[in-house]
């Protein structure tokens, strides 16, 4: 069997549950850590970014309206499918990142989906409240998804970092446009295949590959994006992206400022809280 010619995969974008090429027709060569050719990835354009935002917006009512129990099962399903393709991800992460510990990274990425799957139906208990107001009213506060989140995935950690950025966004009922690591985009697209065949509805996660510095400003200024996660943003454009985000008062997460965090540590609720609004509801009490 060793003389068999393998079937190489064309890596494309993941938008609205489909795998289109970039409308621009552009691709860029992706290499392994030693400079060997791996594949041509789609180099997404401004229009691809806008299509991705439109898909994410369209998916938002359904996904945010799903029950927390349902979302938890869908996220758990992602972990199940990832587990089944563990070997493939180990190979791909090893090639992308040139690391020996790819196996532990993939394990951690699978476990992270499980961790966030368990959060979907607990976050409202932990972050919500019944408010003891000084009057005859029942007042309660619930966390709600902020909407469409544009995330710039970390540049180094191509799978675990990506999952750590995307999972909390969708666990809380938001929908997501994520720009993968620029130079290590392949695990992101393979993850899209997992998402597409799991029960995550099309448009809930949209994956763009290409130049972070080219795509990020369009997402930062897009009026239908509610929040911007700067985790993988190059230092040189972080301030510019924050300025663009101010145009529609976006929530900006400045994670990743001064370098990538250690993704193997247990995350905590920070990333959940960053994409949640608090809604307070009042009603009088009386007979």
Partner 1 sequence: MSGEPMSWEYAPAPESRDIANLKPAYRMFVDGKFVDGTGEPLKTINPATEEVLAEVATASKADIDTAVRAARRAYDKVWGRMPGAERAKYVFRIARLIQERTRELAVLESLDNGKPIKESRDVDVPTAAAHFFYHAGWADKLGHAGYGPNPRPLGVAGQVIPWNFPLLMAAWKIAPALACGNTVVLKPAETTPLTALVLAEICQQADLPAGVVNILPGAGDVGAELVNHAGVDKVAFTGSTEVGKLIQRSLAGTGKKLTLELGGKAANIVFDDAPLDQAVEGIVNGIFFNQGHVCCAGSRLLVQESVADELLAKLRYRVSTLRLGDPLDKNTDVGAINSKAQLDKIRELTESGDSEGAQKWTSPCPMPDKGFFFAPTVFSDVQQSMRIAREEIFGPVLSVLTFRTPEEAVAKANNTPYGLSAGIWTEKGSRILWTAQRMRAGVVWANTFNRFDPTAPFGGYQESGFGREGGRAGLEAYLDV
Residues forming the site for partner 1 (CB under 8 A): 126-127, 129, 131-135, 137, 139, 141, 146-147, 223, 226, 238-243, 245-249, 251, 254, 257, 268-270, 273, 277-284
Cβ 174 to partner 1 shortest distance, Å: 13
9 vs 257 by CB, closer to partner 1: 257
Cβ 155 to partner 1 shortest distance, Å: 19
What's 171's DSSP letter? Answer: H
Total residue count of the chain as it appears in this document: 287
For the chain, the C-alpha Rg in angstroms (whole number) is 19
3-state class of 114 per DSSP? helix
Cβ 250 to partner 1 shortest distance, Å: 8
- Between vectors from CA 49 to CA 162 and to CA 52, what angle results, nearest 5°? 75
Q: How far apart are CA 209 and CA 28, in angstroms?
A: 9
32 vs 240 by CB, closer to partner 1: 240
**Residue 241 and residue 228 in contact, taking contact as beta carbons nearer than 8 Å:** yes
38 vs 127 by CB, closer to partner 1: 127
Cβ 285 to partner 1 shortest distance, Å: 10
**Residue 144 and residue 276 in contact, taking contact as beta carbons nearer than 8 Å:** yes
69 vs 282 by CB, closer to partner 1: 282
**Residue 134 and residue 82 in contact, taking contact as beta carbons nearer than 8 Å:** no
Cβ neighbours around 270 below 10 Å, total: 10
Cβ 44 to partner 1 shortest distance, Å: 24
Cβ 23 to partner 1 shortest distance, Å: 28
Cβ 246 to partner 1 shortest distance, Å: 4
147 vs 187 by CB, closer to partner 1: 147
Cα dihedral across residues 215, 220, 222, 227: positive or negative:
positive
Q: How far apart are CA 244 and CA 158, in angstroms?
A: 26
**Residue 138 and residue 167 in contact, taking contact as beta carbons nearer than 8 Å:** no
193 vs 242 by CB, closer to partner 1: 242
32 vs 242 by CB, closer to partner 1: 242
Cβ neighbours around 125 below 10 Å, total: 10
**130 has which bridge partners?**
140
What's 78's DSSP letter? Answer: H
């Amino acid at each position: 069997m060793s003389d068999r010619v393998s079937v190489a995969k064309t890596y494309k974008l993941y938008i609205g549950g489909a795998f289109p090429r970039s409308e621009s027709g552009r691709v860029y060569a992706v290499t392994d850590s030693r400079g060997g050719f791996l594949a041509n990835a789609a180099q997404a354009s401004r229009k691809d970014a806008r299509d991705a935002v439109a898909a994410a917006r369209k998916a938002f009512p359904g996904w945010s309206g799903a029950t927390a129990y349902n979302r938890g099962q869908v996220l758990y399903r992602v972990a199940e499918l990832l587990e089944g393709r563990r070997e493939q991800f180990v190979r791909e992460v090893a090639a992308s990142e040139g690391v020996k510990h790819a196996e532990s990274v993939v394990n951690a990425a699978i476990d992270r989906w499980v961790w966030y799957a368990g959060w979907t139906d607990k976050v409202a208990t932990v972050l919500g409240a019944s408010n003891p107001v000084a009057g005859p009213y029942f007042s309660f506060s619930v966390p709600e998804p902020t909407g469409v989140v544009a995330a710039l995935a970390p540049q180094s950690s191509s799978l675990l970092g990506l999952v750590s950025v995307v999972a909390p966004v969708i666990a809380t009922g938001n929908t997501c446009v994520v720009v993968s690591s620029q130079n290590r985009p392949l695990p992101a697209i393979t993850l899209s295949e997992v998402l597409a065949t799991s029960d995550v509805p099309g448009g809930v996660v949209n994956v763009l590959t290409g130049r972070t510095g080219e795509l990020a400003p369009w997402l930062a200024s897009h009026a239908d994006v509610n929040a911007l996660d700067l985790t993988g943003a190059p230092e040189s454009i972080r301030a510019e992206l924050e300025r663009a985000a101010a145009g529609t008062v976006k929530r900006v997460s400045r994670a990743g400022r001064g370098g990538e965090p250690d993704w193997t540590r247990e995350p905590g609720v920070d990333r959940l809280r960053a994409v949640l609004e608090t809604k307070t509801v009042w009603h009088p009490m009386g007979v």
